Amino acid sequence: MTTLADVVSVLDRAYPPETAQSWDRVGLVSGDLGAVVRRVRCAIDPTQAVIERAAADGVDLLVTHHPLLLRGVSSIAPSVSAKGRAVTSLVRSGLGLYAAHTNADAAAGGVSDALADALGLTEVEPLTQEEGHPLGRVGTLPEVVTLAALASRLARVLPAAAGGIRVSGDRKAKVRRVAVMGGAGDSGFEAARASGADVYVTADLRHHPALEDREASGGGAPFLVDAGHWATESLWLPRVKALLDEAFGSTDRPDRVETDICTLRTDPWTFTVGAEPPGGDA
């Protein structure tokens, strides 16, 4: 039989917890290491809906990108907070939860590699180092394209999200060297510029840091593309599934583990209205 300890061992080797950033909280959140695992589900967020669906579907382990308990809590009573409701649901259902966050960002084959591969980048290397571990990637497109064409390529390879893809720069500008960082990427502006990137693809770009970066670039490269937090990280999920399938999914195994990817969209945004066409003046 395959135990939770067996699955955790494979995940820890692929995404070593010690490579997570010091502020992060990764690894096993709930579950008995001796418990038998027959079904694993991969998801970005351990929301209440994701947990309840997994429990109803007979899932034994949720592997998520985002931690459930990233910040300290003083109570896990379900009547007090959403975190309490989530923890209670996990424990009551016997559902294990494992999170690989910034350690999955740093890992070879991790979140940013998935984004780089989806864009077809070659000669890929780390964008920067944080606390001694690589974050983000930078590489080269097979050919020069316009900024608008790159954004359109992103729209094809990423799951659709309400926020769409926001771009700062001349849509006709030529780009080839591309820096990427799945998830929130405000911290990567200087690294993207130092890497010689023509464009920086990331998410969660706030007004003031983004505006200051565009001022620093004089309106030129590196241009900015905000492709959405949930969307840019979702490309990693098939890789986690493939990792577990390789380790435990052989049909010859009597203790074969079934895996799937959560179909619930956990992007918090549900719709937008009044988006301004490109090139308008305020």
Domain assignment present for residue 273? The answer is no
Distances (CA, A) of 51 to 5, 76, 80, 82: 20, 16, 18, 12
Q: Tell me: do 90 and 41 sit in the same domain.
A: yes
Reported as a single tens digit per residue, the pLDDT across 131-148 is 999 999 999 999 999 999
Give percent helix, percent strand, percent coil of the chain, each to the nearest 5: 35, 25, 40
- Report the pLDDT value the prediction gives residue 251, as an integer from 0 to 100: 85
Q: pLDDT tens digits, residue range 194-241?
A: 999 999 999 999 999 999 999 999 999 999 999 999 999 999 999 999
DSSP code per residue over 89-114:
HHHHHT-EEEE--HHHHHSTTSHHHH
Section 5-21 average pLDDT? 98
With CA atoms as reference, report the closest residue to 47 among 74, 65, 25, 33.
Answer: 65
Q: Is residue 96 part of a domain?
A: yes
- As a whole number of angstroms, the distance between CA 93 and CA 88 comes to 8
pLDDT beyond 70 at 282: no
Q: How many domains does the chain have?
A: 2
pLDDT given for residue 182 in this prediction: 96
| Residue 272 in domain | no
**Dist CA 133 CA 195 (whole Å):** 17
User: Which residue type is seen at 28?
Assistant: L
Answering whether pTM is above 0.85, one says yes
Checking if the pLDDT of 276 tops 90, the result is: no
Question: Do 172 and 87 share a structural domain?
Answer: no
pLDDT tens figures, 78-115: 888 999 999 999 999 999 999 999 999 999 999 999 99
Token pair for residue 37? 């695992």
121 shares a domain with 225 = yes
Domain range enclosing 185: 111-233
Token pair of 162 as six digits: 């309400």
User: Residue 277: pLDDT band by 50, 70, 90 thresholds?
Assistant: low
DSSP letter at 136? E
Q: Are residues 69 and 92 in the same domain?
A: yes
